[in-house]
Amino acid sequence: MRRRLIQSTLAVVLVVIAVFGVSLVIVETRTISNSAQERVESEAVRLASIVDSRIIAAENVSADVLRNPVGADQYVLISMPGKDPIEIGTKPRGDVIHATQHGEEGETVTVQEPRSAVTREVGRTLLIIGLVALLAVVAAVLLAVRQANRLASPLTDLAETAERLGSGDPRPRHKRYGVPELDRVADVLDSSAERIGRMLTAERRLAADASHQLRTPLTALSMRLEEITLTDDPDTVKEEATIALTQVERLTDVVQRLLTNSRDPRTGSAVTFDLDEVIQQQLAEWRPAYRSAGRAVVSSGKRHLQAVGTPGAVAQVLAALIENSLMHGGGTVALRTRVTGNQAVVEVTDEGPGVPADLGARIFERTISGRNSTGIGLAVARDLAEADGGRLELLQAQPPVFGLFLSRTPPTHKPDEDRLTVR
């Protein structure tokens, strides 16, 4: 592109120089030729006037008297009646410019000048015009190079930005070039980069959340299936299969919940549900893992509480807290329920060392973990709690107490939706 811009600019300049240069050469050549002819004619008139005045005054007319007024390159021939012709200067050879003037006393004055003088003057003029044209071409090339760089460099940068977007690097450059059209393209690319970055972040977040949230249900389901393979009691097989089917349903709910939350974290399907059922379900699922670790998980507090939220999401939040206590806590894990104002609160605590002071304020941030874990479990749990209008907080660091706050006010529905509300 740079080469094309330089070539096009140079072509325009050369055409302009050619048109105006040729015209200027023609005009200057004619002007110089006419000026030389007028000079010779003027000299002839002047000499004729001098000769007339001297003849009238009866003074001597000779070459010595007339030599000073005559130019060095000029040849003068004066013819007078009854006298010998007078010659001044050397008669030029070749092409000449001449003029003849007749005086009042019958004399004839002829002035000649070699045309080579005119040629030399035309040559000097052409040289000056050529130098000016050369300077114009050099200036045009420099300006063309500068303009080409100003236009081509931004286009190269924009091409590199587009290539980076295509290769999966969505970082916007926020670089502008002072050219409105190119700046508009840069704005569009930066906006596209930001959108692609948000999309990639959402996809990575969904993948991380899915891998973390599906791990526990799959582990529990695997344990149930192992129980089935190790027993021959039909009643036990039936009971474990029923629990496994329930866990499969919960697994499906986890997947659906993650997909919904990835699109819009505030999109919830809150209903009024029995909080005891969700807590007992979690206790039943986690007791085998705690027994294997030589620990216990128990519940206490106010019973038969009705809370508002999505049962599957609340179960995932409690599972994240119980798993967190299993991995990082110690001793018995207790789930206590209580009521504060218009909210039902589920507190999860253990007898472990608690949350380090440097992590207390950042415990719900992603990638923040006190040990070698993913650091996204509590972050996902808080997102799930907030999706239905609840909240998850660290109430106490040592010993650790996490509180899940759920509203007890039934959700408001339109009349047509009331029939579809699950209670």
Q: What is the pLDDT of residues 153-169, one digit of tens each?
A: 777 777 777 777 777 77
Give me the mean pLDDT over the 324-345 stretch. Answer: 91
250 domain-assigned: no
Instruction: Look at residue 402 and tell me whether its pLDDT is greater than 90.
Output: yes
* In a shared domain, residues 272 and 375: yes
> In this structure, is residue 229 part of a structural domain?
no
**345 confidence band (pLDDT: 50, 70, 90):** very high
Greatest mean pLDDT range, 116-125, 224-233, 268-277, 399-408: 399-408
Burial of 357 from C-beta contacts in 10 A (0-12 / 13-18 / 19+): exposed
Residues 19 and 88 in one domain: yes
What per-residue confidence (pLDDT) applies to 369?
56
What's the alpha-carbon Rg for the chain, to the nearest Å?
53
Looking at the structure, tell me whether residues 175 and 132 fall in a common domain: no
What mean pLDDT, rounded, does the chain reach? 79
* SS3 state of residue 193: helix
User: What's the CATH number where 127 sits?
Assistant: 3.30.450.250
Q: Is the domain of 359 the same as that of 400?
A: yes
pLDDT score, position 423? 30
Query: Which of helix, strand or coil describes residue 388?
Result: coil
- Dihedral angle sign, alpha carbons of residues 232, 236, 238, 244: negative
Does the pLDDT at position 186 exceed 70?
yes
Burial of 142 (0-12, 13-18, 19+ CB in 10 A): exposed
pLDDT digit string, tens, across residues 78-131: 888 878 888 887 788 778 888 888 888 788 888 888 888 788 888 888 899 889
Query: pLDDT confidence of 198, banded at 50, 70, 90?
Result: confident
**Is the domain of 293 the same as that of 401?**
yes
> Which has the higher per-residue pLDDT, 257 or 338?
338
Which helix (H) or strand (E) segment is 298 a member of? strand 297-301
pLDDT computed for residue 420 by the predictor = 35
Residue 257 lies in a domain: no
pLDDT bracket for residue 208 (50, 70, 90): low
d(CA 138, CA 165): 40
Cα gap 175→190, rounded to integer Å = 9
Predicted pLDDT at 33: 87
Question: What local confidence, expressed as pLDDT, does residue 414 receive?
Answer: 45
Q: Which of 94, 120, 138 is the last residue of a domain?
A: 138
Identify whether residues 55 and 171 lie together within a single domain: no
Domain containing residue 290: 264-418
Whether 146 maps to a domain, the answer reads no
pLDDT of residue 76: 84
- Does residue 160 lie in a domain region? no
Q: Is the pLDDT of residue 232 over 70?
A: yes
Tokens of 410: 């039934």
pLDDT value for 417: 40
pLDDT for the residue 419: 36
Do 16 and 78 belong together in one domain? Answer: yes
How many residues does this entry show for the chain? Answer: 423
Same domain, 297 and 386: yes
Q: What pLDDT, on the 0 to 100 scale, is given for residue 116?
A: 80
Q: What is the CATH number of the domain that holds 373?
A: 3.30.565.10
DSSP, collapsed to helix, strand or coil, labels residue 374 as coil
Q: Higher model confidence: residue 152 or residue 188?
A: 188
* 251 in any annotated domain: no
Lookup: tokens for 296: 């216990």
Domain boundary among 138, 157, 174: 138
Asked whether residue 113 falls in the same domain as residue 181, the answer is no
Q: Which residue has the higher pLDDT, 306 or 207?
A: 306
232 occurs within a structural domain: no
Quick one: 172 and 134 in the same domain? no
Question: In this structure, are 184 and 280 located in the same domain?
Answer: no
- Predicted confidence at residue 90, as pLDDT, reads 79
- Per-residue pLDDT, averaged over 47-67, amounts to 74
- Per the structure, the count of domains in the chain is 3
Q: Give the residue from 229, 323, 331, 335 showing the smallest Cα distance to 276.
A: 335
pTM of the model: 0.47
Predicted confidence at residue 360, as pLDDT, reads: 66
415: pLDDT strictly greater than 50 = no
Say if CB 251 and CB 258 are below 8 A apart: no
Residue 246 lies in a domain: no
Q: What is the pLDDT of residue 374?
A: 44
- Residue burial 399-419, b: 16+ Cβ < 10 Å; e: rest: ebbbbbbbbbeebeeeeeeee
Q: Are residues 177 and 274 in the same domain?
A: no
- Residues contacting 330, CB < 8 A, separation 6+: 295, 350, 351, 352, 353
How far, in Å, are 44, 110, 111 from residue 51 at the CA level?
Answer: 11, 12, 14
Is residue 260 predicted with pLDDT exceeding 70?
Answer: no
- How confident is the model at residue 403, as a pLDDT? 93
Q: What's the rounded mean pLDDT across residues 56-68?
A: 69
